[in-house]
Structure 1
């Protein structure tokens, strides 16, 4: 042959689609010479490949190792070979190992394979040609896997040529059905080998023919295989069911053990390592109890599980169940048994929500770097279509048998025919589904491995475009894929949340037209007092054609309904607009609202029920993300906050800079607690612990900054005081008082403190006092937050407001020894160290113990406590306030309970150590244990104290202001009820509850505190 037949130019190589031009030319020349064929037809064949470089490499391998095979094919077959191995280098590698049937496959040109033909071919492959007996163990596996891949190549050749003709989407359904039939045949063939393996004793003990004949194993397909829409490479989900045809030979535990052995052997034949690589994973994790449950069960055991224990997602999975392999009668009986349960599952409580949350969890588990390239699991991917279709099937299928189909495409057609989806939407979703599945097939075909990640490199995208025939170039393929994703996501939101919208919104389309009278009437009817204002906020949120505006429009009906369930939907919508605008640049925000239904509902509950939380959230808009997870709404541990705030304080150069950052962390934690309380994730006990941690960590870190950054107490750095002289190295401690000291804070509680210092012997007391006062004054200045007031109250110090702000420990000791009055000893009952020098704080507590737990509390001292309490009731109640409605100072209120507890502690604390606690609740319980109060009296006191505390917290959350009176207006009462999770239509019950608990508590107080013997007794029921 003339030399010119073996030459080719680089430009010709480039036009054929090669990337590495010089290497391709050399390799092509070598191939032509080896095959004694002209280059031109070889180049033409390679140019038809999706990846000519990969195709040339595999063809060269074949020519080197199996020259006779290539010599047996003509140029048309050579072109088919290039198309096949250019799209699937992995199949090229396979035929390098097993070339025998390659010419036959290429010559036939590819075809769809029926399930019956595939089963016949694979069963023949795993049978000995001479004896027709099944092959055993690995010999059978190799024969199975080899013939399977030959049949797969035949099918893929058909699919690839359909793509070249622009028909890949049209033939997808037939190809997916053929892949499902091929998988069923492979499992049947593996079962054939497995039975022979067990009977021969090649895998464990020999199984007798009688027992083997009695074992009936039905294999049920789930997932895509069950739907008849399997991928090129995918997990094949199955469930194994066993029965015995001869109870005398095999029954009970023996049946389960042998069934498990057989099922395990079937799985090994498909996916255990061997000389010929595994086909795919045979996955039985959709069985009852998942991977923790038994691999096989009897039909009776299956019925029992699904009747009693199965969860919503398990019925969704059963939607695609069909008999697959093995004993088809048993498999069909399983499907028939579970079918009624599938179609009634949507009537279960929160079924729709559970399905939606499961879809959300799928998205959550995607790595951040994969989220935008996931064909299957990401937003706008295959799962969006599948979940939308399945949800509508399950919701409406209980009434409409036409929806009782397993495949996604048949189900879409049924939903359209039934009027559940608009025909245009259904056609779009069906087309999008086929488009995405073709992409997925080609990606998996390349290396014969499971993947659903779109490539990002231009070369890989170009190969994919050529393999699919879906676009002429890499850029065009990416553009079309992006458009499909957007379309899928929009339709998913429209369809997937349709059952939810119909249940909670019921908003006709014409009522959504902004500015219409119907829309105003609808808004007014659901509780908006200013429909025009609400319309303006809606217009601002949904105006335009941006993706953000479109999502807001889709979400708005249900958001409005949720907001209207709150006490103040008008303020809630305004706050929602502000939060949305603050999160405008955060990509996760709308995704959270769109995909995290519970988070969106929680957000509307927070905004429409709590001005306090809403205003805080506007300053920390990213905190919306916490609403998606209960764990994010739990209070942070004190040590964690200590570490965070101390680290911040150590990195800031000055107190002002540190204070701004520390106050932001403190504000963040208070918001976390407020949102957690409003949505019901945490209770008042957790709120108290969280507030205590937030306040304590803030004071600790600020004190550290005030003292000079990271310098330990006692070694303060030099400053400008006294002409550059270092300030005196004093110890300083803060002592929590009141509810703060008792670790029983609510959102309306003050932060009561006293301060104590101790100076070294060589430091003059007046100089040390000035330094301590300076530090405390600086602390008060640093803690003041213009955006979120945090006031430190030092009024419980000796002499109150008239006394010095801070005293030395010795000064406290001298004062208490000579001048202290009863109320000051009483105040010390809840004193505990919270920040500063721990040793000094402990020394102060030791001093306080001597004062607050006296060895003898005389009767005249008891009378003095009673006199002060009477005076407080007479003088401190606000003018014009209704005493019965005052939660703190009114009859049976917080003050009554705490004064009674404190009197018991003063009188008996020395005698009963259990009473030596800073907690009111703990002290009450201790009083019962030592016999000072009756159990029912304790219950009355606790009911009143807790209820009053809850209402004070709710008032603060609702209005953003502290108040100690139960309001009289319906709106505020409804606001309290909304925060507490009570019905807003029964506000009178709130009042009646308070009057009842306070009346009982007052009766106990009068009897036990004042000694009124005729005070009524109540029995707890």
Structure 2
């Protein structure tokens, strides 16, 4: 056979054995050092069984060359490669999985002999065996070498399958324990006086404490110290202080021995940041100091961390005293007032900490990752471990098994979660093992993914199979993360036969309380009503509720969300499309949960029109409709009704649905096509204001048509128009705003002024009556008090009467009020003529006189002193308080009155648009304009939030804690940050008031 043919045959054989570079592999196999084994079929098969045959072969050649360079006989190594299969597989398995351990062997070639031992005791060594291996180590560098030598045997058992992932993690934790103890001994030997002055205990935390350590991970610890035995023990005296100083020096030295990097590499970082006050607190504390902190200052996450605390090194008695003292505090954590808030914050903090570019590669922190499993298990432990001591294991998989055995988690769910956790931890271990670097990210290079896949047993298409398995397990974790909390609750109330234990009523209430439900007994009744029975409806509810309950729990008021869902389900339960919509349209179910748990306004609307649930499943269902479309629908509904009251009821029906559409879209952040995170608060507020203005304009148009048709048929004796003023005319209506209007008419040809005026008054009066009829809908109150002469003036005036009044009697406040006047309903031509009439009044040529400006300032000062409600806090009143709506609006309106005649851009009814025009014209600085705009937007959103949450108008923050929290969620604050919200509001409005003082009151 030609040389090329022989080479091709050989390369093909190498490719079949898993080599990716057969040419390089052939050269290495032809090296003289491998002559005794190159033709051995079992040797080549063993290389092909490794995660990376190329890496294993290269590492082996390096090892043999290192032995030869040291004049060591490589024959024992070669005999091992030709000898017993387990020993050969262990060495090659390590070399094929870990470049870092191959480097270690190249630097310390005699350490390969650590893999030869294959006694039963070697299969699963513990702390004692590792301590024996380290006992003769006499310095930091020697400890680093000995640690890597011990790591070789752990890695060999891991990659060859002798140890499973739980056993590997436990061995790594035991090796860390032995290493830390030896490092402490070295530190104490270096400072015998310090060692004699104190008792120092090192308490393991985190994965080290839970016997589930990674190959490369910080070893989390807490240090506890007391004066040495035989001292006076006066903790407040000099001896205690000296003991703490001595213990601190020893602890710091021990940490450096483990953490420092030298020519021999490093061991791992020792992290003491889980101690009280974190890195800002003292490194070492006495036991009493620890307890004082935990009893007074500790947060829930600190008790969650303490769940894994165990004595690790140093004074064992002191270590056990510490654990015994803190353990009762751990199991009382779920009873803390802020437990739910803290838990919600912890969950969000984990997700928020992931860089966006790494989210899809995260094994630990990403959705469906290791942290999801650990968090779920630990939370269930904290909730139910109070009364069930069998749940208190610090090891995740042991705790999960105990939760299943106790009926707190379904056995099938626990088994699936166990499998997913083991898979993800194995991936994490193998990724870290390659370079012995701390990482939780899926590698990006295909070669690295191929090695990882092969290390997990995927051989035909390792990369494809790896990703498929990863997606499957991550998806299972995401799904089970919800089921773990909520499925057992349904099993407890569904009254179905089950093959496993159910939560007891007490355990079910405990879990609901821990998830934020204030009335768990009622919540269980709602769940029973929704999920019990064998009907198709109940079966679908049992599918939906685990996810819905999670969304409710993530809100400010889970009880309200669940109650609302039961009411909507009761109202629509017989509609075949309802549950199908929630089941099949994922967005619909989540949107419904968010709306139902966000306050009273939107749910109350939905319960009066439950068919509006359909809007939540429509991709475009939450976008506001145009005023033209709304007016056409409202007028058509009015036209079909018999009688004025029925007609207004029909108009209210349209308004009710559209208010729900607007409120739901606002709460969900679904206006337009932008992502919620990309929406500026001002933009979202403008959309709400436009939508509410259009809805109410269409409603007024319907009420006007109903009032006219009742007495006059199709045509009124006088043309009639409704002019919106205030927030109505400014497109700035909130959910609780009245409709400020002016009524204007103009007699038709041949109709006397008296007859026309009488008809106009009758229509205006009837519109108000119809809209004030008792209803459960949010009211739309017509306020006409801004008309000439106020409440004592005529309700409706002719255009000529308005002209005569404004020419002779108008005062400056009326000009200011007309700045936001805009036609909203009725005769559009008449509306345009009215606007033409008032333009010279609201945009006076030459601006304002000095007297007029003084009058405006006097009126503003009077309003501040007289109209603020008694007892109201002026720093948080959104309308009349410091830097609130009125402050900003009057400042902007003063600029419009001064310069509107000469600057057309200022002729707008909208506050924010006028502010932009003023800035562009140089009437206000950019920074000042931004300050006023921010304050106006924030104050407007506070008013909207108060209405959405409480279901009734309000100009300040609610006092009830849940309502206040719900307002915070609407404004973008996470649970537990209510104080920050109030501080921010005061800061923003205080800055705005300073601008108002300078620009409006001319305060220099």
Q: Do the structures match in fold with TM over 0.5? A: yes
Deviations 1:765-808 (A, max 9, x none): xxxxxxxxxxxxxxxxxxxxxxxx9x9x999999999899xxxx
SS in 1 for 2:19: coil
Indicate yes or no: 2:95 matched with 1:94. Answer: no
Indicate yes or no: 2:75 matched with 1:71. Answer: yes
Q: 1:575-586 counterparts in 2 under 5 A?
A: 577-582=614-619
Whether the 8 Å CA contact 2:195–2:250 is kept in 1: the answer is no
Distance 1:568 1:349, change over 3 A: farther
**In structure 2, what is the Cα distance between the partners aligned to 1:286 and 1:342?**
15
**In structure 1, what is the Cα distance between the partners aligned to 2:871 and 2:342?**
43
**In structure 1, what is the Cα distance between the partners aligned to 2:537 and 2:738?**
45
Q: CA deviation at 1:227?
A: 0.9
Indicate yes or no: 2:497 matched with 1:510. Answer: no
Distance 1:61 1:471, change over 3 A: closer
Deviations 1:918-970 (A, max 9, x none): 78336768xx9xxxxxx99999xx99989xx99xxxxxxxxxxxxxxxxxxxx
Q: 2:467 aligns with which of 464, 478, 483?
A: 478
SS in 2 for 1:848: coil
Q: What is residue 30 of structure 1 aligned with on the other side?
A: 31
Whether the 8 Å CA contact 1:567–1:978 is kept in 2: the answer is no
SS in 2 for 1:66: helix
Deviations 1:435-494 (A, max 9, x none): 221121111111111222234555433322321336764222322222222222211111
SS in 2 for 1:340: helix
Indicate yes or no: 2:571 matched with 1:531. Answer: yes
Q: What is residue 852 of structure 1 aligned with on the other side?
A: 852
Q: 1:601-612 counterparts in 2 under 5 A?
A: none
Distance 1:153 1:848, change over 3 A: same
Deviations 1:336-383 (A, max 9, x none): 111111111111125245324312321222223332332221222211
Q: What is residue 222 of structure 2 aligned with on the other side?
A: 239
Gaps of 5+ in 2: 490-510, 543-561, 623-654, 695-724, 743-779, 822-839, 887-946, 961-1004
Q: What is residue 141 of structure 2 aligned with on the other side?
A: 142
Deviations 1:808-842 (A, max 9, x none): xxxx9xx99x95525x22335679999xxxxx999
**In structure 1, what is the Cα distance between the partners aligned to 2:361 and 2:739?**
52
SS in 2 for 1:242: strand
Q: 1:150-189 counterparts in 2 under 5 A?
A: 150-162=149-161, 171-189=164-182
**In structure 2, what is the Cα distance between the partners aligned to 1:50 and 1:738?**
70
**In structure 2, what is the Cα distance between the partners aligned to 1:531 and 1:490?**
29
Q: What is residue 121 of structure 1 aligned with on the other side?
A: 133
Q: CA deviation at 1:615?
A: 2.0
Distance 1:329 1:537, change over 3 A: farther
Whether the 8 Å CA contact 2:169–2:211 is kept in 1: the answer is yes
Deviations 1:192-226 (A, max 9, x none): 122233x2xxxxxxxxx444312111111111111
Q: 1:303-702 counterparts in 2 under 5 A?
A: 303-455=291-443, 458-469=446-457, 473-474=461-462, 475-497=464-486, 499-500=511-512, 503=520, 504=523, 506=525, 507-508=527-528, 509-510=531-532, 513-515=535-537, 526-528=566-568, 531-532=571-572, 536=576, 538-543=578-583, 548=586, 552=589, 566-570=603-607, 577-582=614-619, 614-616=660-662, 623=669, 635-636=681-682, 666-667=686-687
Q: What is residue 215 of structure 1 aligned with on the other side?
A: 198
Deviations 1:273-314 (A, max 9, x none): 212222222111111111222211111110100001111111
Whether the 8 Å CA contact 1:829–1:918 is kept in 2: the answer is no
Distance 1:303 1:797, change over 3 A: same
Q: What is residue 890 of structure 1 aligned with on the other side?
A: none
The RMSD of aligned alpha carbons is: 5.4
Whether the 8 Å CA contact 2:404–2:410 is kept in 1: the answer is yes
Q: Tell which deviates more after alignment, 141-150 or 421-430.
A: 421-430
SS in 2 for 1:300: helix
Whether the 8 Å CA contact 2:735–2:948 is kept in 1: the answer is no
Q: What is residue 976 of structure 1 aligned with on the other side?
A: 952
Distance 1:243 1:843, change over 3 A: farther
Q: What is residue 55 of structure 2 aligned with on the other side?
A: 54
Q: CA deviation at 1:179?
A: 1.0
SS in 2 for 1:325: strand
Whether the 8 Å CA contact 2:17–2:45 is kept in 1: the answer is yes
Distance 1:452 1:72, change over 3 A: same
Distance 1:574 1:271, change over 3 A: farther
Whether the 8 Å CA contact 2:815–2:841 is kept in 1: the answer is no
Distance 1:752 1:52, change over 3 A: farther
**In structure 1, what is the Cα distance between the partners aligned to 2:599 and 2:734?**
29
Q: 1:193-232 counterparts in 2 under 5 A?
A: 193-197=186-190, 199=191, 209-232=192-215
SS in 2 for 1:369: helix
Whether the 8 Å CA contact 2:540–2:583 is kept in 1: the answer is no
**In structure 1, what is the Cα distance between the partners aligned to 2:612 and 2:342?**
28
Indicate yes or no: 2:827 matched with 1:827. Answer: no
**In structure 2, what is the Cα distance between the partners aligned to 1:846 and 1:252?**
82
Distance 1:410 1:634, change over 3 A: same
**In structure 2, what is the Cα distance between the partners aligned to 1:219 and 1:625?**
55
Whether the 8 Å CA contact 1:534–1:573 is kept in 2: the answer is no
Deviations 1:878-901 (A, max 9, x none): xxxxxxxxxxxxxxxxxxxxxxxx
Whether the 8 Å CA contact 1:217–1:241 is kept in 2: the answer is yes
Whether the 8 Å CA contact 2:662–2:692 is kept in 1: the answer is no
Q: CA deviation at 1:268?
A: 0.9
**In structure 1, what is the Cα distance between the partners aligned to 2:693 and 2:147?**
59
Distance 1:846 1:750, change over 3 A: farther
**In structure 2, what is the Cα distance between the partners aligned to 1:485 and 1:938?**
50
Q: 1:836-847 counterparts in 2 under 5 A?
A: 847=847
**In structure 1, what is the Cα distance between the partners aligned to 2:111 and 2:362?**
36
Whether the 8 Å CA contact 2:362–2:369 is kept in 1: the answer is yes
Q: Tell which deviates more after alignment, 403-412 or 97-106.
A: 97-106
TM-score for the superposition, normalised by structure 2: 0.59
Count residues in correspondence: 697
Whether the 8 Å CA contact 2:135–2:182 is kept in 1: the answer is yes
**In structure 1, what is the Cα distance between the partners aligned to 2:102 and 2:880?**
79
Q: CA deviation at 1:323?
A: 0.8
SS in 1 for 2:952: helix
Gaps of 5+ in 1: 128-139, 200-208, 586-608, 642-663, 675-735, 754-788, 805-811, 835-839, 855-905, 929-934, 951-970, 984-1021
Q: Tell which deviates more after alignment, 440-449 or 562-571.
A: 562-571
Distance 1:853 1:263, change over 3 A: same
Whether the 8 Å CA contact 2:51–2:93 is kept in 1: the answer is yes
Distance 1:434 1:974, change over 3 A: closer
Whether the 8 Å CA contact 2:599–2:948 is kept in 1: the answer is no
Whether the 8 Å CA contact 1:223–1:321 is kept in 2: the answer is yes
Whether the 8 Å CA contact 1:633–1:673 is kept in 2: the answer is no
Indicate yes or no: 2:265 matched with 1:277. Answer: yes
Distance 1:244 1:495, change over 3 A: same
**In structure 1, what is the Cα distance between the partners aligned to 2:678 and 2:241?**
46
Q: What is residue 549 of structure 2 aligned with on the other side?
A: none
Whether the 8 Å CA contact 1:220–1:331 is kept in 2: the answer is yes
Distance 1:516 1:290, change over 3 A: closer
SS in 1 for 2:213: coil
